[in-house]
C-alpha cells in the first residue's frame, strides 16, 4: 500500500503534508546504502543513532562535512541577533538532517528543540514544523518530542498554539500509522501512543477557549481524529492513499479498532454539541458546519445526524449573531447542503435536505442542478446489495467450520481478538436522535390545518409590534407550503425546539417525576417574543408530550374574489392617486413603510400618479429626496424584473421609465434646490442610485460646468470613476472637462484626473492618451479641431484661429502629467516642430513651471538634448534657460550643450544658459558673437558672466572676472566685431556701477597700459572712467604720464584720445603736456589750440629761474618763436569727445567746474555722450 497521500480531506484545515514514504520491506533488513533501518518502525526510514553506527555504515567525507555544516549552522543560529538569519540557518539544518542526511536527526534533535524557547514566535513555529518533519521521517522521535509539544500548546503566543494544534493532528496520525505498520508493539510505541492521547485530551479541552482561532483549530483537529478513527464505506467519497481505520489491524492491543471507532463517535457527538451551542460565534459555527459536512461525505454513516443538526441549527440560530452574521451563516449552510445533496447517500434524506434548502432560499433551478442521477445510484446499490448477499452466503457456509477451528485456538491468542469479533455491527442511534424522531412523529400526526390555525391564534398576543431584525434577516418565503414534506419539515423544526429547550416527556423523566405527574403547564419560548403566557392558555403538549386536538367549529372561509369585481383601469388609477395623496399629505411622518407603498404604487401606475409624486418631491427636495431615491430603486427592480408589474405597464420600456424618474429627480435638484445644496443633493442621488443613465450624466455635466459647483461636481465624477463599474465612462467625462474654457472648472477637472492617475494604475494609459493623443495632438493642426468646441468645453462658437486660451486648455493636463512622467517631454518636442508660430510662443510661455519642477538632473531632459528633432532648437534653448535661471548649470548639462553647439546648433545664443559652466577661453572665443546680439540679450549675457542674476544662495566664482571681461572687450579684433558694437558692450559694463567700481576700472586701465600695442579704445575708457569717478584724476594723470613714456603719439587713434583727455583735465594735465617732446607738444597744440593759453599762463606764472630750466624750444613754442613743424596731422577720431579746458571769461574751466559735457555730432565710431552716461 502506498502512503503518498495528498492533502488529507479528513482534515483539510491543517493536515497539509503527505506521508511521503513508500512501503518498503519491513523484514528488518538493511536498506541500500548500508544504514540500518529501525526494526520497530514500519516506515522504512533510514536512521542512525550513534556515531559508531555511522562509521560502521560506511560514512564518507560528505557525511562528516554535512555534520560539521549542521553544527556550524546551529551555532550561528544561536548567536545571531537577526531573526531572518536565524530562520535561514534553521531551514538549512532542517533540509540537511531531514532530507539529505536523516542519520543526523538523532544527533541534533535536542539542539533543534532548544530553539522552542526562542523569543521570536516565527522561530518557535518553525520548530513545530521541524518536529512534524522529524516525526514523519523517524517515528521513533515521537515520544521524545511529546513534552515539547505539550509546552508549545501552552505557549503565550496564540499563533504558536494554533500551529501546535495542527502539528498535533499530524503526530496523532503518524503514531497510529507507526503502530499499524509494525509487526510488534514495543514499549516505546506504547509510550508514544499514550503520550499522543494525553496530547489529544489537552487539545479537546481547548474547545472552550476564549479565543475564536483556538476553537476553530480545535474543531478541525476533532474532524481529523474522527476521520482517522473511522472506517470508510461503500458510498464514501474516495480518497486514494489516505490512512484511516481501514488500515489499522485488529491485533493492536493499545489501539483496538473498536475502541478507536467508539472514541470517534463520542468526539463526533461533542462536535455536534458545539455545533448546536448557543454561544458559538459565526466563524466557529461555519467552521464546525464545514467539518461535519466533510465527515458526512466521507463517512455517510453520520449523514443522518448531520442533517438533523443542520435542521436544528436552522430552527434555532445562536442569539449572539448579528444580522449580517445570520445572513452569512444561512448562505454558508445553503452552499454546504447543496454540496451534500450531490452525495449518493443523500437519497435517504432527500426530503429533509431539499425542504431545508427551500427554507434557506434555494431556487428550483439550484436544486435541480444539485440532484444527481438517482436511477444510476439505485442500480449501483442493488448490484452491490446482490454482491453482499452472495458474500454473506459464502460466509455462512464457512462459519460452522470457523467456529470449530476457534475451539482449538488457545485463549492467549484469542485475547487479541475478543473485542473486535464483529466489525459489521448495526449503526447505533443516539438517545437524543431517538427522542427527536419520536417527538417529530407525534407532532406530524397532530399538526393538522386546524391545529396550525389554533397555534397561530394562541401565539398572536406574543408577537411584538415590530418584526425583529434577526427574523427579517433569516426568514425566506415558504415555497412548498401545505405539502407533506413541508409539514414534516415544520414538525421536525418544532421537535428540534422542544428538544433544545428540554421540554416534552423525556425531560420529565430526566427531572425525576413520572408522566402522570407531568401536569404542570410548561412555557415554550418563541423566536419572536419572550412575553409570558396568559393564565388561561393551554399548554401545547399534554402529559404524553403530544399535541392535543382542539375541537372548534369550522366556518366557511370568506373569499373576496367571490363577492367583488375588478376595477377598470381608469378607476384603478384614480384610486391609486387618491391613496397616494392621503399617504403623502397625512399628518403622520412619511416612514419607511409608507415610502415603500408609495414607490410600489408609482411603478405600477400611469403618468398622472408619477407626476403627482414628482411634484411632491419637488415641493421640498431637502426632505423628500429619500423618497425619490426609493422610487428610483423600485423602478430599477422593475427594470431588472426583480418585482412584478401590472398588466397596464408591461408595454412600457422599463429602462426608459427608470431613466425618466432619475432625470426628473435630478432636474428637480437643479431647479429647486438652493445653490449651496445642489452639489450635496446631487452627490446623494448619484452615489446611492443603483445605476446612472446617460441623460443623468448629461445633467451632472451641466452641474460640473458651473464654477460654483465645479469642485464638488468633479469630486463626484472622480468618486463614480473609482466606485462604479463603468469607470472609464466617468473618466472620459472628467477628461472632457480638462479642456474647459473656464480656468476654475478646468483646474478642478485636472486635479481629479491626476488623483485618479496616481490612484488607479489601470487608468493611466487612458489619461495619457487623452492628454497627448487628443489634446496635445490637436496643436498640430492649422485650425483648432471641433472637439474643443462643445457645451462640455464651454465654447459654443467655433474659432478658426488658435488663441492663447485654446493652447493653454490643450496643454494643462499634459503639463500636469509631465511633472510626474518626465518621458512625455519627447512628445512635446515632436509636436512643437509641427505647430504654428502662435502656438509655439504659447508653448514656450507655459512650459516654465513643469520644466523647473523636473530640474536639470532629470534623465529624460538629458535624453531630449541628444534626440530632439530638427526645428525644436528654440524649445530646447528655452528649456535650458529655465533650467539654469538663477542656478548654476550642471556639468552634464554643460557637456551636452557644448556638444550640441559644436555639432548641431551653431547659434551662439544656445550657449548663453551655460556660460558659467564654460571655460574662460570658450567664453572669450564666443564673446565677439555674443555682443552682436540684441542689447537685452547682451545685458543678460553680462549678468550671467558677472553673477548679477543669481541669488545670494547661489553666488559662485565666474569663469571670467569683471576685469577680464572688460580687457577682453578692448582686445576684440575689428575683423570679428566692429568698434561701435564693442563700445556699446563696454557701456553696458560701465552701467553696472556695483561691479565696475573705481578700483576695478583702475585695474582694467593698468592691464590695458601693459599691452603693446595699446588698445584702440583705451583712452575712451580712461575718459569715461574719469567722468564716472572724478576721484581718479590723480590716477589718470599718472596714466597720461605713462602714455608719454610709451610714446603714445606713435598710435594715432590713441594719441587723439590722449589729447582729448588732456583737454578735460586742464590745468592738471599741463605738467604732463610739458613732458612731451616739442614736436609732439606742437602737434597737440595744433590739434587742440585751446591748450595754448593755459600752458602759456602756466609758464608765465613761473619764476625766471624756473623758466630757465625749461628747454628753449619749448618756451619758444608756447611763448613765441620758431614753430616746430607738426609731424602728426589728420587724426580726428576723437572729435566727438568734447573739448575740455576752453577759456571762459579769461580763465580755464576745471573738471570740477564743468556743469556737463556737450553732446557730440555722432559722426564717429568713438563718439560717446558723457552727460547721458553720468545721468544714468
Mark whether 915 and 982 lie in a shared domain. no
Sign of CA dihedral 862, 863, 867, 868: negative
**pLDDT confidence of residue 920:** 87
Q: How confident is residue 388, by pLDDT bands cut at 50, 70 and 90?
A: low
Sign of CA dihedral 512, 516, 518, 519: negative
Comparing C-alpha atoms, which of 703, 714, 793 is closest to residue 749? 714
pTM of the model: 0.47
Q: Higher pLDDT residue, 471 or 970?
A: 970
Question: The CATH number of the domain where 34 resides is what?
Answer: 1.25.10.10
Comparing C-alpha atoms, which of 298, 380, 388, 379 is closest to residue 343? 298
Instruction: With respect to residue 708, please indicate whether it lies within any of the assigned structural domains.
Output: no
Which region among 366-380, 937-951, 1085-1099 has the lowest average model confidence (pLDDT)? 366-380
Q: How confident is residue 526, by pLDDT bands cut at 50, 70 and 90?
A: very low
From residue 1008, alpha-carbon distances to 534, 821, 1005, 1039 in Å are 127, 54, 5, 11
d(CA 52, CA 274): 54
Last-in-domain residue among 211, 241, 275? 275
**pLDDT confidence of residue 609:** 86
SS3 1147: strand
In the chain, what's the furthest Cα-to-Cα distance?
A: 180
Residue 1144 predicted with pLDDT over 50: no
Instruction: With respect to residue 420, please indicate whether it lies within any of the assigned structural domains.
Output: no
C-alpha cell at 962: 569683471
Residue 412 predicted with pLDDT over 50: no
Instruction: With respect to residue 139, please indicate whether it lies within any of the assigned structural domains.
Output: yes
**pLDDT confidence of residue 354:** 84
d(CA 16, CA 261): 24
Mark whether 244 and 99 lie in a shared domain. yes
d(CA 377, CA 396): 28
Q: Which residues pair with 1144 in a beta bridge?
A: 1147
Burial class (CB in 10 A: 0-12, 13-18, 19+), 606: middle
**pLDDT confidence of residue 276:** 86
Q: 200: which residues sit within 8 A by CB, 6+ positions away?
A: 168, 172, 225
C-alpha angle with apex 826: 824 to 830, nearest 5 degrees?
125
**pLDDT confidence of residue 714:** 93
Mark whether 1034 and 1056 lie in a shared domain. yes
Q: 1032: which residues sit within 8 A by CB, 6+ positions away?
A: 998, 1001, 1002, 1025, 1026
Q: Higher pLDDT residue, 585 or 422?
A: 585
Instruction: With respect to residue 200, please indicate whether it lies within any of the assigned structural domains.
Output: yes
d(CA 1142, CA 1063): 8
Which region among 12-16, 93-97, 126-130, 983-987 has the lowest average model confidence (pLDDT)? 12-16
**pLDDT confidence of residue 373:** 67
Q: 80: which residues sit within 8 A by CB, 6+ positions away?
A: 86, 89
Residue 757 predicted with pLDDT over 90: yes
pLDDT over 90 percentage in the chain: 26
Q: Count other C-beta atoms under 10 Å from residue 647's C-beta.
A: 8
d(CA 969, CA 941): 13
**pLDDT confidence of residue 911:** 84
**pLDDT confidence of residue 409:** 42
Q: How confident is residue 913, by pLDDT bands cut at 50, 70 and 90?
A: confident
- Average pLDDT for the chain: 77
Q: How confident is residue 1162, by pLDDT bands cut at 50, 70 and 90?
A: very low
d(CA 919, CA 926): 11
Mark whether 285 and 320 lie in a shared domain. yes
Q: What range does the domain containing 525 cover?
A: 432-552
Give the pLDDT confidence of 297-352 residue by residue, as tens digits: 999 999 989 998 888 888 888 888 888 888 888 899 989 998 888 888 888 888 88
SS3 37: strand
Residue indicated by cell numbers 481629479:
752
**pLDDT confidence of residue 160:** 92
Residue 1120 predicted with pLDDT over 80: no
How large is the average pLDDT for residues 369-388? 66
C-alpha cell at 597: 407603498
Mark whether 974 and 1060 lie in a shared domain. yes
How large is the average pLDDT for residues 825-853? 92
**pLDDT confidence of residue 1148:** 38
Mark whether 283 and 264 lie in a shared domain. no
Spatial contact of 373 and 380, defined as CB atoms under 8 Å apart: no
Mark whether 321 and 342 lie in a shared domain. yes
Reported as type and span, the H/E element at residue 631 is: helix 621-639
Mark whether 356 and 226 lie in a shared domain. no
d(CA 992, CA 1019): 20
**pLDDT confidence of residue 214:** 92
Burial class (CB in 10 A: 0-12, 13-18, 19+), 130: buried
Q: Higher pLDDT residue, 1033 or 1172?
A: 1033
Q: How confident is residue 1085, by pLDDT bands cut at 50, 70 and 90?
A: confident
d(CA 1113, CA 1127): 16
d(CA 1166, CA 1176): 19
The count of structural domains within the chain is 7
d(CA 897, CA 965): 22
C-alpha angle with apex 367: 365 to 372, nearest 5 degrees?
115
Q: How confident is residue 419, by pLDDT bands cut at 50, 70 and 90?
A: very low
How large is the average pLDDT for residues 924-939? 88
**pLDDT confidence of residue 219:** 93
How large is the average pLDDT for residues 263-280? 89
d(CA 1109, CA 1120): 17
Q: How confident is residue 472, by pLDDT bands cut at 50, 70 and 90?
A: low
Residue 360 predicted with pLDDT over 90: no
Q: Higher pLDDT residue, 384 or 342?
A: 342
DSSP string, 816-836: HHHHH-GGGHHHHHHHHTTS-
Comparing C-alpha atoms, which of 1042, 1043, 1023, 1047 is closest to residue 1139? 1023
Q: How confident is residue 866, by pLDDT bands cut at 50, 70 and 90?
A: confident
Instruction: With respect to residue 707, please indicate whether it lies within any of the assigned structural domains.
Output: no
Sign of CA dihedral 255, 256, 260, 262: negative
Comparing C-alpha atoms, which of 974, 975, 994 is closest to residue 983? 974
How large is the average pLDDT for residues 811-819? 92
Q: What share of the chain is helix, strand, coil (3-state, %, to 5)?
A: 65, 0, 35
List of long-range contacts for 621-624, beta carbons under 8 Å, 24+ apart: 621/668, 621/669, 621/672, 621/673, 621/681, 622/673, 622/677, 622/681
Q: Higher pLDDT residue, 420 or 488?
A: 488
Rounded to a whole number of angstroms, the distance between the first and last alpha carbons of the chain is 110
How large is the average pLDDT for residues 158-167? 92
**pLDDT confidence of residue 749:** 93
Instruction: With respect to residue 572, please indicate whether it lies within any of the assigned structural domains.
Output: no
Reported as type and span, the H/E element at residue 1143 is: strand 1143-1144
Give the pLDDT confidence of 212-224 residue by residue, as tens digits: 899 999 999 999 9
Q: 709: which residues sit within 8 A by CB, 6+ positions away?
A: 675, 678, 679, 703
Residue indicated by cell numbers 431539499:
354
Q: Count other C-beta atoms under 10 Å from residue 328's C-beta.
A: 16
Q: Three-state secondary structure along 142-176?
A: HHHHHHHHHHHHCCCCHHHHHHHHHHHHHHHHHHH
Mark whether 982 and 913 lie in a shared domain. no
Q: Higher pLDDT residue, 973 or 412?
A: 973
How large is the average pLDDT for residues 870-880? 89
Instruction: With respect to residue 559, please indicate whether it lies within any of the assigned structural domains.
Output: no
Spatial contact of 329 and 260, defined as CB atoms under 8 Å apart: no
Mark whether 657 and 731 lie in a shared domain. no
Spatial contact of 719 and 684, defined as CB atoms under 8 Å apart: no
Q: Count other C-beta atoms under 10 Å from residue 413's C-beta.
A: 10
Q: Higher pLDDT residue, 420 or 1015?
A: 1015
What does DSSP say about strands 1143-1144 and 1147-1148: parallel, antiparallel, or unpaired?
antiparallel
Mark whether 99 and 240 lie in a shared domain. yes
Asked if the peptide bond before residue 1013 counts as cis, ω within 30 degrees of 0, the response is yes
Q: Higher pLDDT residue, 1119 or 546?
A: 1119
Which region among 280-294, 370-384, 619-633, 1048-1062 has the lowest average model confidence (pLDDT)? 370-384
Reported as type and span, the H/E element at residue 998 is: helix 998-1009
**pLDDT confidence of residue 1134:** 34
What radius of gyration do the chain's Cα atoms show? 54
**pLDDT confidence of residue 1:** 37
Q: How confident is residue 3, by pLDDT bands cut at 50, 70 and 90?
A: very low
Q: Higher pLDDT residue, 445 or 1024?
A: 1024
Residue 91 predicted with pLDDT over 50: yes
d(CA 622, CA 182): 82
Residue 426 predicted with pLDDT over 90: no
Mark whether 282 and 251 lie in a shared domain. no
Q: Which residues pair with 46 in a beta bridge?
A: 37
Last-in-domain residue among 922, 944, 960? 960
d(CA 224, CA 228): 6
Last-in-domain residue among 688, 708, 739? 688
**pLDDT confidence of residue 699:** 92
Instruction: With respect to residue 566, please indicate whether it lies within any of the assigned structural domains.
Output: no
Q: Which residues pair with 1147 in a beta bridge?
A: 1144
Residue 429 predicted with pLDDT over 80: no
Q: Count other C-beta atoms under 10 Å from residue 487's C-beta.
A: 19
Most confident of 140-149, 572-581, 1143-1152: 140-149
Task: Phi first, then psi: give them for residue 828, nearest 5 degrees.
Answer: -60, -40
Residue 69 predicted with pLDDT over 90: no
Residue indicated by cell numbers 589729447:
1059
Q: Higher pLDDT residue, 1090 or 19?
A: 1090
C-alpha cell at 153: 500548546
Amino acid at each position: 500500500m502506498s502512503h503518498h497521500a495528498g492533502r488529507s480531506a479528513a482534515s483539510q484545515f491543517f493536515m497539509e503534508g503527505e506521508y511521503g514514504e513508500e512501503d518498503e520491506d519491513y523484514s528488518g533488513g538493511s536498506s541500500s546504502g548500508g544504514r540500518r533501518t529501525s526494526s520497530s518502525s514500519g516506515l522504512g526510514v533510514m536512521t542512525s543513532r550513534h556515531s559508531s553506527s555511522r562509521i560502521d555504515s560506511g560514512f564518507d567525507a560528505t557525511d562528516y562535512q554535512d555534520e560539521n555544516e549542521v553544527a556550524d549552522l546551529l551555532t550561528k543560529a544561536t548567536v545571531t541577533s537577526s531573526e531572518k538569519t536565524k530562520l535561514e540557518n534553521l531551514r538549512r539544518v532542517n533540509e540537511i538532517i531531514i532530507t539529505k542526511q536523516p542519520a543526523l536527526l538523532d544527533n541534533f534533535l535536542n539542539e533543534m528543540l532548544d530553539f522552542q524557547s526562542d523569543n521570536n514566535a516565527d522561530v518557535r513555529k518553525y520548530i513545530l514544523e521541524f518536529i512534524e518533519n522529524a516525526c514523519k521521517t523517524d517515528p521513533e522521535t515521537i515520544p521524545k518530542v511529546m513534552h515539547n509539544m505539550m509546552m508549545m500548546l501552552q505557549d503565550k503566543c496564540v499563533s504558536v498554539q494554533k500551529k501546535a494544534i495542527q502539528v498535533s493532528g499530524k503526530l496523532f496520525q503518524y503514531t497510529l500509522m507507526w503502530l499499524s505498520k509494525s509487526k510488534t508493539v514495543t514499549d516505546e510505541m506504547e509510550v508514544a501512543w499514550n503520550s499522543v492521547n494525553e496530547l489529544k485530551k489537552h487539545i479537546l479541552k481547548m474547545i472552550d477557549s476564549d479565543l475564536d482561532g483556538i476553537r476553530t483549530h480545535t474543531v478541525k483537529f476533532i474532524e481529523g481524529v474522527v476521520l482517522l478513527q473511522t472506517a470508510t464505506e461503500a458510498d464514501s467519497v474516495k480518497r486514494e492513499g489516505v490512512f484511516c481505520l481501514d488500515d489499522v489491524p485488529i491485533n493492536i492491543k493499545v489501539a483496538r479498532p473498536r475502541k478507536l471507532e467508539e472514541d470517534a463517535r463520542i468526539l463526533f457527538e461533542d462536535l455536534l454539541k458545539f455545533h448546536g451551542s448557543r454561544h458559538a460565534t459565526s466563524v466557529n459555527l461555519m467552521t464546525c458546519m464545514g467539518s461535519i459536512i466533510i465527515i458526512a461525505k466521507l463517512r455517510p454513516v453520520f449523514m443522518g445526524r448531520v442533517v438533523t443538526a443542520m435542521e436544528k441549527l436552522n430552527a434555532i440560530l445562536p442569539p449572539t449573531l448579528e444580522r449580517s452574521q445570520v445572513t452569512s451563516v444561512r448562505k454558508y449552510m445553503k452552499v454546504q447542503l447543496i454540496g451534500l445533496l450531490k452525495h449518493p447517500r443523500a437519497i435517504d434524506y432527500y426530503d429533509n435536505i431539499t425542504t431545508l434548502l427551500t427554507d434557506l432560499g434555494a431556487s428550483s433551478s439550484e436544486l435541480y442542478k444539485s440532484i444527481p442521477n438517482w436511477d444510476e445510484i439505485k442500480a449501483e446499490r442493488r448490484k452491490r446489495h446482490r454482491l453482499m448477499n452472495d458474500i454473506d452466503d459464502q460466509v455462512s457456509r464457512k462459519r460452522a467450520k470457523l467456529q470449530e477451528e476457534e475451539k482449538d485456538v488457545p485463549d492467549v491468542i484469542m485475547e487479541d481478538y475478543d473485542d473486535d469479533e464483529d466489525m459489521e455491527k448495526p449503526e447505533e442511534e443516539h438517545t437524543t436522535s431517538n427522542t427527536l424522531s419520536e417527538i417529530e412523529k407525534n407532532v406530524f400526526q397532530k399538526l393538522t390545518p386546524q391545529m396550525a390555525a389554533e397555534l397561530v391564534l394562541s401565539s398572536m398576543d406574543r408577537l411584538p409590534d415590530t418584526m425583529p431584525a434577526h427574523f427579517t434577516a433569516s426568514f425566506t418565503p415558504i415555497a412548498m407550503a401545505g405539502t407533506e414534506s413541508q409539514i414534516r419539515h415544520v414538525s421536525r423544526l418544532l421537535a428540534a425546539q422542544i428538544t433544545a429547550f428540554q421540554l416534552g416527556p423525556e425531560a420529565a423523566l430526566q427531572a425525576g417525576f413520572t408522566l402522570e405527574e407531568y401536569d404542570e403547564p410548561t412555557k415554550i419560548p418563541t423566536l419572536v417574543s419572550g412575553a409570558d403566557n396568559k393564565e388561561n392558555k393551554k399548554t401545547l403538549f399534554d402529559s404524553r408530550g403530544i399535541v392535543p386536538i382542539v375541537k372548534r367549529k369550522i366556518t366557511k372561509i370568506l373569499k373576496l374574489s367571490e363577492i367583488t369585481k375588478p376595477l377598470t383601469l381608469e378607476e384603478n388609477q384614480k384610486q391609486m392617486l387618491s391613496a397616494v395623496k392621503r399617504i403623502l399629505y397625512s399628518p403622520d411622518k412619511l416612514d419607511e413603510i409608507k415610502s415603500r407603498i408609495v414607490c410600489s404604487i408609482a411603478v405600477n401606475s400611469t403618468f398622472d400618479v408619477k407626476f403627482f409624486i414628482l411634484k411632491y418631491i419637488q415641493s421640498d427636495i431637502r426632505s423628500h429626496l429619500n423618497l425619490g431615491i426609493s422610487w428610483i430603486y423600485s423602478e430599477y427592480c422593475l427594470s431588472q424584473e426583480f418585482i412584478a408589474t401590472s398588466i397596464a405597464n408591461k408595454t412600457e420600456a422599463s429602462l426608459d421609465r427608470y431613466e425618466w424618474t432619475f432625470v426628473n429627480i435630478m432636474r428637480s435638484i437643479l431647479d429647486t434646490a438652493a445653490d449651496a445644496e445642489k452639489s450635496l443633493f446631487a452627490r446623494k442621488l448619484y452615489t446611492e442610485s443603483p445605476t446612472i443613465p446617460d441623460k443623468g450624466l448629461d445633467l451632472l455635466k451641466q452641474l460640473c460646468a458651473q464654477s460654483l459647483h465645479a469642485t464638488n461636481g468633479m469630486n463626484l465624477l472622480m468618486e463614480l470613476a473609482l466606485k462604479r463599474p463603468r469607470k472609464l465612462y466617468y473618466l472620459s467625462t472628467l477628461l472632457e472637462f480638462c479642456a474647459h474654457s473656464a480656468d476654475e472648472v478646468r483646474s478642478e477637472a485636472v486635479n481629479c484626473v491626476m488623483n485618479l492617475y496616481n490612484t488607479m494604475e489601470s487608468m493611466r494609459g487612458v489619461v495619457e492618451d487623452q492628454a497627448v493623443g487628443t489634446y496635445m495632438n490637436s496643436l498640430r493642426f492649422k485650425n483648432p479641431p471641433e472637439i474643443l468646441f462643445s457645451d462640455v468645453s464651454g465654447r459654443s462658437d467655433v474659432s478658426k484661429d488658435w488663441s492663447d486660451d485654446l493652447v493653454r486648455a490643450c496643454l494643462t493636463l499634459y503639463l500636469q502629467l509631465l511633472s510626474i512622467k518626465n518621458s512625455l517631454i519627447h512628445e512635446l518636442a515632436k509636436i512643437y516642430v509641427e505647430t504654428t508660430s502662435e502656438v509655439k510662443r504659447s508653448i514656450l510661455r507655459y512650459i516654465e513651471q513643469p520644466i523647473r519642477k523636473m530640474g536639470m538632473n532629470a534623465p529624460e531632459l538629458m535624453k531630449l538634448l541628444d534626440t530632439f528633432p530638427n526645428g525644436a532648437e528654440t524649445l530646447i534653448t528655452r528649456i535650458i534657460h529655465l533650467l539654469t535661471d538663477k542656478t548654476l548649470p550642471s556639468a552634464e548639462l554643460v557637456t551636452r550643450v557644448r556638444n550640441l553647439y559644436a555639432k548641431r546648433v551653431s547659434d551662439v545664443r544656445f550657449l548663453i544658459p551655460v556660460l558659467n559652466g564654460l571655460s574662460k577661453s570658450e567664453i572669450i572665443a564666443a564673446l565677439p558673437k555674443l555682443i552682436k546680439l540684441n542689447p537685452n540679450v547682451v545685458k543678460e549675457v553680462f549678468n550671467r558672466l558677472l553673477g548679477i542674476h543669481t541669488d545670494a544662495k547661489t553666488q559662485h566664482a565666474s569663469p571670467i572676472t569683471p576685469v577680464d571681461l572688460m580687457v577682453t572687450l578692448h582686445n576684440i579684433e575689428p575683423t570679428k566685431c566692429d568698434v561701435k558694437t564693442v563700445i556699446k558692450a563696454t557701456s553696458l559694463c560701465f552701467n553696472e556701477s556695483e561691479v565696475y567700481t573705481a578700483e576695478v576700472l583702475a585695474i582694467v586701465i593698468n592691464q590695458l597700459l601693459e599691452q603693446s600695442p595699446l588698445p584702440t579704445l583705451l583712452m575712451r575708457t580712461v575718459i569715461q572712467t574719469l567722468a564716472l569717478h572724478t576721484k581718479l584724476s590723480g590716477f589718470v594723470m599718472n596714466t597720461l604720464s605713462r602714455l608719454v613714456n610709451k610714446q603714445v603719439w606713435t598710435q594715432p587713434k590713441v594719441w587723439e584720445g590722449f589729447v582729448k583727455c588732456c583737454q578735460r583735465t586742464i590745468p592738471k594735465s599741463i605738467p604732463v603736456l610739458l613732458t612731451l617732446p616739442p614736436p609732439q607738444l606742437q602737434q597737440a597744440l595744433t590739434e587742440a589750440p585751446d591748450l595754448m593759453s593755459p600752458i602759456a599762463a602756466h609758464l608765465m606764472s613761473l619764476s625766471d629761474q624756473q623758466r630757465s630750466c625749461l628747454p628753449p624750444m619749448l618756451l619758444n613754442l608756447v611763448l613765441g618763436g620758431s614753430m616746430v613743424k607738426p609731424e602728426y596731422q589728420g587724426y580726428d577720431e576723437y572729435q566727438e569727445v568734447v573739448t575740455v579746458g576752453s577759456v571762459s571769461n579769461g580763465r580755464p574751466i576745471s573738471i570740477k567746474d564743468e556743469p556737463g559735457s556737450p553732446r557730440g555730432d555722432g559722426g564717429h565710431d568713438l563718439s560717446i555722450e558723457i552727460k547721458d552716461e553720468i545721468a544714468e
